[in-house]
Structure 1
Amino acid sequence: MSSFASQRRFALATLSAAILTAASQGASAQLVCNEVTTETLNVIGVRVTSAQPVAATDALPAYCSIDAVTAERVGLDGKDYAVRFQMNLPDDWNGDFVHQFNGGLDGSVSAATGPLLGGNRERTALGLGYAVLSSDAGHSGNANPQAGLAGAAQFGFDPEARSYYGYKTVEVLTPIAKQMIHNFYGNDPHYSYGVGCSNGGRHGMVAASRLGDAYDGFLLGAPGFNLPKAAVQLAMDVQLLDSINGDVRTSLTQEDRLLVASAVLHACDSLDGLEDSLVSDTAACQATFNIDNYVCPVGETENCVDPQKAEVLKGIYAGPKDRKGGSLYSDWSWDAGIAGSNWSFWRVNSGVPFWDNYPLIGIMGASGLAQVFETPPASVGPTGDDLVDYLLDFDVENGGRLINARHGKFHESAMAFMTPPDVDNPKMKKFQRGGGKMIIFHGVSDPIFSYNDTVSWYNRLDENYKGEANHFVKLYPVPGMNHCSGGPATDDFDLFTRLVDWVESGDEPQAVTASIAEGNGERFSDWSPVRTRKLCPYPQVAVYDGSGDPESAESFTCQ
C-alpha cells in the first residue's frame, strides 16, 4: 500500500473514531429543528446548509429535514468535491436508522424517504418513523453541463471521487449519521439498516463486507456488486444488437420479445405444476429451454424467432468472453420477463423517447464505463451518438484488463473500488458474527444485472458456510420481474418487515406473498389483476398444490 493510501485510510479511521467518541458525549435533549445549525448540531467535519421542519402528510409524518455537506475538498482534477446529504428525522421517531442507498451513477441527493423497494412506491422507512439518510455519493451529477450526456460520469477523472462513489461515502456517512441522530434526539439508534436496489444494492453489499457490524440488517434488490463487469456486458450487447440492422433502437421489437417470451413459456411454464404464464422453476427452465427449437425454418416468418435475432440473444445470454473464452461477467436466465417494457427500456428502448431515443443503459452505461470503470479514464463526446459509438468501438475481449487496471494516480482499479473486497470468496465474517441479517431479491428477467451472477455469489457464500448461509442471508428470486420492479411479475412485496422481524425478533423469513404492484400493467392477458404468488427463498421453488385457486398464493408451497 502506498504511503498516500496509508495516510488516507489512517485519517478516515481517526475521523470515524472521533465521531463515535463525540456521539457518546453528545447532547442529552432533543434539538429544535429551526435551531439546528452547524454549531448546534456539532458534528465533526459537517456543515449544515439548511434545516427546516416539514409538516405531516397522508404519506409521511412530521419531520426535521437537514441538508448538510462533509468531506469538502478540491480534487486532483481541480474541481470542487464534497459529500452532500440529507437527514430526515421524524418528530415521532421509532428509535432506528435507515441508510438509503441510491442508484445509477448517484450524483444527486434523492429525497431521504427510504423507499422500501419492490413495485410499491408508497411504502417508506420515513413513513414508518425511521431516521433516514440519503447522499450524492460524493460528486455532483451536473458539474459540467458542457459535457452533455457524458457529464454525469466526469467525476471518474478524479481518483478520490471514484473511491467515494465506490465505498468511501458510506464509510464516512455511517458514523456521521449516528452522531447526528444522537445529537438531535439525545439517544443512539437501536438498530441500523441499509436499503437499496441496483447500484444501491451494490452499496449495501460493499458496506456489509467493509463495515461489518456497523449495520444490523440490509434489504438489497438487484445488487450490481459486479457493476464494472456488467458494463463490459453492456458494450457487447450494443455491438450484438447493432449487428441486426445497424440500429440498436429497432433491433428487437416488442413482437420479437413477445415471441421469445412465448417460446420460454411453451418450454417451461408447466415445470412448477401449473400453466399460468409464469416460470417459477428458473433452474429447471434453463435445463429445458433451447431457443434453437423456436427459430424460423427457411421460408417461414410467422410465430417463430428470426434466426439472426436468436443468435444475438444467445450471445447476450451467454455473457461476454475474453480472448481465451473465459467469462468476463455472467450468463443470464431465460425467462418470460423479456416481454417487459423495462427490459426494452434499458437494453433496446424500442419506441420510448429518452435521451435522443437511445436505450438508457447505452447512455448511462457508456459514460460510466468510459470515465469511471476504464483505467485510465477515456474521454467521450457529449451526445448520444458519441456514447453509442464508444460502445460500438469498445474492445470487449480486453474489457477485463481495463476494469482491473491501475494507472498512475489511479491507485485502485474499478473492480477494487466498486466491488466487495471478498466478492469472489464471500464471507462477510464481521457482519455474520455480529448477528447481521441480509435479504436480497432479484428479478429473474433483470436486463442490467444478471440474476445468475447473484445466484453464483450466494452459492459461493453458502459453500463457505457449509450450507448454512441462509441463517443470515436470504435470496428471493422474482420470476418475470425486470430491474428492481416491473415486468410480467408479482412485484409488490414487503421484505423489509420480514428483515426487521428477523433482526429484532429472530423470526427467520420463509415464503413471502407478492401481488401485482399498482401501476404495473404488464401482466399477461390470462392473469387475474389480483393474482398473488409466493416468493420462496432460494433454492426453493413455488409449486402448485394441484387443486387450489390458481390465482392465489395460498395454492402454492415452497419446495
Structure 2
Amino acid sequence: MKKRNLVLPLAIAPLCLAMWGCNGHNHHDQIEAANSLPILGEATPGTLNSCEDLATQFSYSGTVITNAETLAAGPVSYNSDESYNAPAHCLITGYMNQRMGIAGPNGETATYQIGFEMRLPVDWNGRFYYQANGGLDGSVANAVGRFMFSNGSDSAALTKGFAVISSDAGHPTPAPTFGFDPQARRDYGYNAVAELTPMAKSLIEAAYGKQPDRSYFGGCSNGGRHTMVAATRYATQYDGFLVGNPGFNLPKAAVDQMYGIQQYSSLVTVDPDNILSSIEGAITEQEFGVVSKAVLAQCDALDGAADGMVNALEACQQDFDLNRDVPTCSDDRDGTCLTQAQKDVLSNIMAGAHNSANEAIYTSFPYDAGMGTDNYFGWEYTMALTRDSGTVGGVFTTPPTSVGNTDTDALAFIQSFSMDTDAPKIYATDAANGFTESAIEFMTPPDPTDMGTLRDRGAKILAIHGTSDPVFSVQDTINWYNGLQKANTNEADQFARLFLVPGMNHCGNGPATDKFDALDKLVSWVEDGTAPEEIEASVRANNAELPADWSKSRTRPLCPYPQQATYNGTGSVEDATNFTCKAPE
C-alpha cells in the first residue's frame, strides 16, 4: 500500500477542533491533502414530514409496520436503570421476514421474525444510528441510540437528533434454543443487520423525503461485536463505527468463561443445593480485591501519579507477579491472602483457556485495578455459569446441544465440556442439517484486520475497551488493533483508533472514569476530518465502585493506544488538564 503522510499540520488541527460542523471546501481540501483519505462531509438536517401514516403507506419487501405514533419530548427509558432525554419524535415498531423455524432439540417450532423499533426526531440532524444491543439479543430495546450505560442521559444518539433503530436480531427471546435454527443463528450473527439497514434507510426517506447523509453503527459487548462485524461486512453502508468492549471473538470468549468455572470448581466442594454460591467461594470478591490492591502497589505510579489508576497497562504486566506480590496464606484463608492453589487457578484463568496440548483457545487477560468489584465478580461466576453454558451448547457448537435451565444442568454441561474435543465444535459445520456456517463464521468479522473498504471510502472506526473487562479481554482488542496497524503499514490510526479505559469493567463500572461522549468525536472525525487526539472522561458520582478517596468530579483524558495518560507532575490528580497523552517510554 502506498505510504501516506497523514499527520495533521499544527495550524489546521486547532482550527478544526474549534469548528464543529465546519465543512467548507477550503477546510476539507486542506485536511484531505494532509490525510490522503476522503472526508465525507457534514450531514444536513431535515424535518419529519410523515409519521402515523407510515403504518399504512410505507411498503418494503417482507416488512410489516405494527405501529407509528408521534411522541412529545421527554425521557425515554432504556431499562430500569437508564433513562435518556429525547426530543419530540415518531416511534415506529415492526418486523421483517416472518417465518416458522426450529426452536428446540426435539423439532419444536416457533415464529421467527426480525423485530425492530425506530425513533425518528421531528427535528432531524440528517444522521442514522444503528443501536446494536448486547447479550443474546432476543428483545427489542428502546431505540435511544445508547452506546454504554454509563455515558449520561445527553450522550444518546436520539438526544442529538439522530434517527435510531434497535432490533432483536431475529429471534423472540434470549433463550438459546434459537440456536437450533440455522437461519436464526445467521440472523443473530450478521444477517439481521443486512436486512434491516436498507429497510431503515428507505423508511427514513419516506419520513423525511431523503435518506440519511451519514450513517453510524454502535454498541458495546455483543453490540461491540455487531459493530466490528458491520465494519467488515457492511462498510459501504455505514460511515462511522463506535465499538465498545467488543466480543468479536464471542464464541471463544464464551468457552473461556466455562473454562473459568471448571478451574474455580476445582478449588471447592460444590454443594448441589447451592451450586453458584459454593463455586463463588473459590476466590471471593474480597480476595479478588487483594489482587487489585497488589496490582496498584506495583503499578499505580508507573504513569507518574499514585491515583488508584493503572494507565501503564502493558508495563504493569511486566512489573506485577502474582506469586511474588500477593501474600500466600500460611494458615487458613482470612481475606488478606491467596492460597497457592488459588494462585495456580487464577494464573490459569488469566492466561486464557487452553487445551491439554497448551494451545490457546482464547487470549490472556491483564491483571488490573478493577478486579475486586461486583461487576467483575458477577461475570466470573454468575454469567459464566448460567449464560455461557446455554449459549455455547445451543448457539455456538455444531450440532447444537440442549443444556437445560437449572444451575445443576449448567454445571454438568460445563464439567463434561472438553477443551480438547468439544471446544473445536465452535469451528464445526453440519451442512446436512442446514448448519453451513460455524459459529466462528457467523459470529466474528470475516477478517478483522482487513478494513480496506472502510478506510478507502473515508469511514472511521473508534473502539473503546475497559482494561478490567472480565469477559472480553482487552488484550484481544489490543491484539486486533496491532494487527490492523501491521496490515496498514502502521498508519491504521488514520481511520481506526483504540481508547483504553483504565479500571473499567464490562461496558462500564469499576474504579474508572467511565462517563464520556465518544459519538461526537466519531462524527467530527468522519465529517470534518478531525481525528480524536483524546476523549475527556469523568467518574459517575453514583458509581458504587468508586474508591472513597477519589473526587466525585475526577476527570481524565482517554488516550489513543498506545498512548497513555501521564501525569504532568503538578496540579490535582483529579483534573484531566494535569495529564497528557504520551507514548510509553
Provide the TM-score with structure 2 as the length reference: 0.85
How far did residue 252 of structure 1 move?
A: 2.1
Matched residue, 1:124: 156
Q: Are 1:379 and 2:402 an aligned pair? A: yes
The question of 1:417 aligning with 2:431 is answered no
Report SS of the residue matched to 2:86: coil
The reply on whether 1:341 has 2:374 as its aligned counterpart is yes
Q: Which amino acid aligns with 2:54?
A: V
Give 3-state SS (helix, strand or coil) of 2:236's partner: helix
SS in 2 for 1:284: helix
State the SS of the aligned residue for 2:371. helix
Unaligned runs of 5+ in 1: 1-27, 143-151, 349-358
2:177 partner amino acid: Q
Q: Which amino acid is the alignment partner of residue 346 of structure 2?
A: L
Q: 2:49 touches 2:207 (CA, 8 Å); kept in 1?
A: yes
Do 2:50 and 2:208's aligned partners in 1 also have CA atoms closer than 8 Å?
Answer: no
The answer to whether 1:47 aligns with 2:64 is yes
Q: How does 1:381-400 map to 2 (within 5 A)?
A: 381-400=404-423
Written as runs of structure 1 = structure 2, the 5 A alignment for 1:65-464 is 65-76=91-102, 77=107, 78-117=109-148, 119-122=150-153, 123-141=155-173, 152-245=175-268, 246=270, 247-293=278-324, 294-296=326-328, 298-299=330-331, 303-348=336-381, 359-407=382-430, 408-409=432-433, 410-423=435-448, 426-464=449-487
Q: CA deviation at 1:330?
A: 0.3
Equivalent residue of 2:516, what SS? coil
Secondary structure of 1:73's aligned partner: strand
* 5+ long unaligned stretches in structure 2: 1-45, 76-84, 271-277
Note if contact 1:118-1:493 (Cα within 8 Å) is conserved in structure 2.
Answer: no
SS at match of 2:267: helix
> Structure 1: how far apart are the matches of 2:409 and 2:329?
38
- For 1:305 and 1:461, how far apart are their aligned partners in 2? 39
2:436 alignment partner, SS class: coil
> 1:213 deviation in Å?
1.5
Which amino acid in the other structure matches residue 457 of structure 1? W
CA displacement 1:284-340 (0-9 Å, x = unmatched) = 000111100123153475633232221111111001112321111100110010012
Please say if residues 232 and 399 of structure 1, whose CA atoms lie closer than 8 Å, have aligned partners that are also in contact.
no
Q: Distance in 2 between matches of 1:112 and 1:32?
A: 19
Aligned residue runs from structure 1 range 469-484, under 5 A: 469-484=492-507
Aligned residues: 510
Secondary structure (helix, strand or coil) at the match of 2:506 reads: coil
The one-letter code sitting in structure 2 at the alignment partner of 1:63 is H
The one-letter code matched in structure 1 to 2:375 is N
Q: 1:34 aligns with which of 52, 59, 64?
A: 52
Counterpart of 2:522 in structure 1 is: 499
* One-letter amino acid of the structure 1 residue matched with residue 94 of structure 2: A
Contact between 2:329 and 2:339, CA under 8 Å: does it hold in 1?
Answer: no
Structure 1 stretch displaced more, 522-531 or 291-300? 291-300
SS at match of 2:95: strand
Deviates more, 1:368-377 or 1:337-346: 337-346
CA spacing shift, 1:503–1:300, aligned 2, 3 Å? same
Matched to 1:456, the amino acid is N
Structure 1 range deviating more: 289-298 or 176-185: 289-298
Q: CA deviation at 1:496?
A: 0.9
Question: What displacement does 1:513 show?
Answer: 1.3
Instruction: Note the C-alpha offset of 1:526.
Output: 2.4
Q: TM-score, normalised by structure 1?
A: 0.89
Hey, what does 1:145 align to over in structure 2?
none
Q: In the aligned structure 2, how far is the partner of 1:321 from the partner of 1:361? A: 17
CA, structure 1 residues 400+429, in 2 after alignment: closer, same or farther (shift >3 Å)?
Answer: farther
Determine which of 77, 90, 93 is the counterpart of 1:64. 90
What SS does the aligned partner of 1:292 have?
Answer: helix
**326-335 or 68-77, larger mean C-alpha shift:** 68-77
The superposition leaves residues 45-102 of structure 1 with CA deviations (integer Å, 9 ceiling, x where unpaired) of: 2111111111111521111111111111222553321101011111111111000000
* Structure-1 residue corresponding to 2:21: none
Cα separation, 2, equivalents of 1:300 and 1:238: 23
Contact 1:320/1:397 (CA < 8 Å) preserved in 2?
Answer: no
* 3-state DSSP of counterpart to 2:216: strand
Q: Describe the SS at the equivalent of 2:402.
A: coil
| 1:214 aligned counterpart, secondary structure | coil
1:465 to 464, 483, 488: 488
SS of the residue aligned with 2:147?
coil
2:79: which partner in 1? none
Q: In structure 2, the residue corresponding to 1:534 is in which secondary structure?
A: strand
Q: Distance in 1 between matches of 2:329 and 2:401?
A: 44
State the alpha-carbon separation in 1 of the partners of residues 545 and 405 from structure 2: 34
The letter of the residue matching 2:72 is A
Partner Cα distance (1:527, 1:552) in 2? 11
Query: Structure 1 residue runs of 4+, over 3 Å off?
Result: 28-32, 297-303
Letter in 2 for 1:265: L
Shift, 1:44, TM fit: 2.3
**1: CA distance, partners of 2:130 / 2:416:** 39
Name the SS for the 1:99 alignment partner: strand
RMSD over aligned CA atoms reads: 1.6
CA distance in 2, matches of 1:279, 1:258: 15
Is the CA contact (8 Å cut-off) linking 1:277 and 1:526 kept in structure 2? no
1:543 equivalent in structure 2: 566
| C-alpha distance in 1 between matches for 2:497 and 2:557 | 15
The structure where helix makes up a greater share of residues is: 1
Q: Which residue is 1:355 aligned to?
A: none
